[in-house]
Amino acid sequence: MTDHLKFSPDILRRLGEELVPDIDQGIVELVKNGYDADATTCKITLADPMSGNGSIAIIDDGIGMTGNQIRKGWLVIGRSDKAKGALTSKFKRVPVGDKGLGRLAALRLGNRVILTTRPASEPGKQYSTSLDWLEYEKADVVEDVALAIAETETDLPHGTEIRIEGIEARITRTTVNKLARSLLLLSDPFARFDDQLSNGRLKSTKRSRIIDPGFSANLLTMEFKDLQAKVGKSYFSDAEYRIQAELHANGNATFRIMDWKGEIVHEAMAGDTFHAPPFTFDLWVFVLSKDSFSTRSSTLSEVRDWLAELGGVHVYEDGIRVPPYGGEENDFLGLNLRRVRSPEVRPSTNTSVGRIKINNTDGSLIQKTDRIGYVENYAFGELKRACGEALDWAARILLKERERKREADKQSKKEKAAKATSDLERVLSKNFKPTERKKVDKAIQSYVKATEKEADSLREDLELYRSLATAGMISAVFAHEIGKPLGLIDNAIKGLIRLVPDEDQRKANARVGRIQTSRTRLSSFVSIPLRLLSKHKRRTGRIDVNRCIGSMVEMLEPISANYDTLITFKPSETGLFVNGTEALLDGIIINLILNSFNAFLRDNFEQDKRRIKIETWSDTTNILIRIEDNAGGIDGVSVEDIWLPGVTTVADGTGFGLTIVRDSIKDLNGTIRVDPITDFGGARFTISLRPMRELFGR
């Protein structure tokens, strides 16, 4: 007798589950099969999704299957009955669905699958079959389970229904939302707007075919309706501009910037060719500011929600979406990364929505077996490169435009100022006698002078901030670099010690000890700028005030030891939390502590036991932080003036420390009070911050 390779039912589970992890993605795969069957609509219903025994039905109006097609195709796992590149029979669609393992995974979402199908080729006929997965669990090998295909009469039109029953996993709202979103985006929602947006110019790239009425998938739930309303509405005309890259079959690309009406404002050929299948990349960029929406019918929040739903840059291969591009947290073109380099004229995923329409007829782009994205091959790399070049090109153009606009603004401001002056002159000469006129002129002059002075000082502040920021960045860069020489010192010391003859070891050890102490001091000093700039500290969120101050005091330990100063920190007994960034709080604390150090070092100020005391506590409404020292208090400058930029009592000090403190506290919505001298023997700063307990505090 002939033997066969047989499969344990386990393999079915493993194959499916591992390939498509999510329910929503599994269902989308089944919907795609509907598209491949030249369906125009596909309805998805969910029953008792939260019960642990739910069911899903996917019903399309496609061409259906005959008994033979079920037998030879649908029931054969892993076979694709069409060669790649072959188009569907009716609408000449490029098949997008997965006939293989992805479909298996979807079918296995529940305990049972019932397939009912009415082939267009055999009107009045209906075929049905069911897969009972529990039966497979019991069987030794897959082949042992017998299947029957029933044939009945019907007067219903052609189409296919797949019903998955006994779904044990609870289908949560989140999953439903995700599914709704995936289904909506599955068939290019942008396509509906192509006509109005592109003036029909894109049509030339489409292949001629029997007119495809299109394909839509509807999830019959409330969530879907809401979402559909959101996504379905078009806000494209609210875009500030649209960046377009069109890659032609010969590898040449055209880059364009269009205004909201779709009119081309800038156009250029790319300087390079790209080896990717022809595609069109569109990116609608929005300026989400109150100003820009003040004159429009749509509201800022509407557009913001819409953008949040629609997400980033979606990829449509022959009209069907290729996930995960453009999905949540997916930024495959690196929009946000590019933005870091020049934020002013770059879109982010939050302020733009885009689409790449690909004609993948040559198959150089290959979808991964799990149906999540393309294989990162050369063609895909070229596609990304072309899009990136388009974005860079656009950024350059926009930057130039903006500079031109700024110049023009400046000019018009000057003209306005000149006009205002002449208007004023006219009014004055009409209303004042020459004798009074002199007084008025003088008053105006002094006012203008004061205003100019203020502008001057602001400019100076800005310059100083810039140079300080540069100094900070550079010190951080070199702090990174210092690790190497430090390591070298360690090794050199060890080597030297070995060279010292035994009788001199004691003497040598004293000196080596000093090198080591200095090395430790050095590394603790250089770690400070690094810590202050470490990335996680820039994010806004909940700050644990006590932890933040505690670690700051600990970090400054080598410095306070250096200044012979004892810093004591008495945190409140309970946790204190504020909303903000740790960097802000760090900046406040470190500047106040440095301020105290400087006060101790003043010429002719005597303090044998230098102390800085930090306390935190909370009263009924606020979080309070108190920092005081015994450095003699504030003198040589009036208390109101200490906050002013550039005011310093230290030779060559920048006078910015307390200004930064003031501004940072303002950013944290707090207040600061200063007592120039207290019983403790120095200045006392009391900071009051809003607690965050209503949101996060426990």
Partner 1 sequence: MLGTVEFPDIEPPRFVTIVDDDPEDREDLMDQLRDHNIEPRAVDGRYGSDIDRLIADVRATGSPFVICDHRLQIKNLASFNGSSVIKALGLSKHPAMLLTMYQSTNRLELREARADVPVVVSRHDFDVSQLGTYAEICRREFANDPVDARRAHRTLIGIKGINRTYNHTELYVTIPNWRPDDAIILPVACIASDLVPQLEVGDYLLGDVNVGAKEEDDLFFKNVNEIMKANEVTGS
Give me the least distance between CB of 514 and partner 1, in Å please.
Answer: 5
| Residues 153/19, Cβ–Cβ less than 8 Å | no
| Spatial CA neighbour of 599 closest among 664, 676, 663, 524 | 676
**Separation CA 217–CA 615 (nearest Å):** 62
Query: What minimum distance in Å lies between the beta carbon of 558 and partner 1?
Result: 13
CA distance 113 to 103: 12
- Beta carbon nearer to partner 1, 377 or 638: 638
What is the 3 state secondary structure string of 410-436? HHHHHHHHHHHHHHHHHHHHHHCCHHH
Nearer to partner 1 among residue 201 and residue 521 (C-beta): 521
Shorter beta-carbon distance to partner 1: residue 514 or 570: 514
Contact 284, 348 (CB under 8 A): no
**CA 427 to chain CA centroid, nearest Å:** 54
Minimum gap (Å) between residue 462 Cβ and partner 1: 16
Count Cα atoms within 13 angstroms, Cβ side, for 528: 20
Sheet holding 610-618, edge to edge: 565-570, 610-618, 623-629, 684-689, 671-675
Q: Are strands 623-629 and 577-581 parallel, antiparallel or unpaired?
A: unpaired
Comparison of 163 and 610: residue with beta carbon closer to partner 1: 610
Q: Which residues bind partner 1 (CB under 8 A)?
A: 510-511, 514, 517-518, 562-564, 600-608, 610, 636-637, 641, 644, 646-647, 649-653, 655
For partner 1, give the closer residue by CB, 252 or 568: 568
Among 283, 278, 346, which Cα is nearest to 312's? 283
Q: How far is the CB of 592 from partner 1 (least distance, A)?
A: 19
**What minimum distance in Å lies between the beta carbon of 692 and partner 1?**
37
CB of 564 to partner 1, least distance (A): 4
> Regarding beta strands 320-321 and 264-269, do their DSSP bridges make them parallel or antiparallel, or are they unpaired?
unpaired
CB of 468 to partner 1, least distance (A): 14
Phi, psi for residue 276 in degrees, rounded to 5? -135, 160
CB of 455 vs partner 1, minimal distance in Å: 17
Instruction: Please give the Cα distance from 178 to 26 (Å, whole number).
Output: 12
Choice between 469 and 566, CB closer to partner 1:
566
Task: Quote the tokens at residue 14.
Answer: 């493993």
Task: Give the strand pairing for 125-132 and 41-47.
Answer: unpaired
Nearer to partner 1, 441 or 456 (CB): 456
Q: How far is the CB of 329 from partner 1 (least distance, A)?
A: 47
Residue partners of 644: CB distance under 8 A and separation at least 6 = 655, 659
Shortest spacing between CB 291 and partner 1, in angstroms? 37
Q: In sequence order, what are the beta bridge partners of 118? A: 159
Confirm if 600 and 617 have CB atoms less than 8 A apart: no
Nearer of residues 56 and 559 to partner 1, judged by Cβ: 559
Shortest Å, Cβ 484 to partner 1: 21
- Number of Cβ within a 10 Å radius of residue 74: 22
Q: Look at residues 363, 370, 325, 320 and name the one whose alpha carbon lies nearest to residue 103.
A: 370
Distance in Å, CB of 489 to partner 1, minimum:
15
Nearer to partner 1, 329 or 608 (CB): 608
> Residues 365-404, buried b or exposed e (16+ Cβ, 10 A)?
bebeeebbbbeeeebbebbbebbebbbebbbebbeeeeee
From 31, 276, 9, select the one nearest 133 (Cα to Cα).
9
Nearer of residues 546 and 591 to partner 1, judged by Cβ:
591
* Closer by beta carbon to partner 1, 681 or else 697: 681
Nearer to partner 1 among residue 500 and residue 644 (C-beta): 644
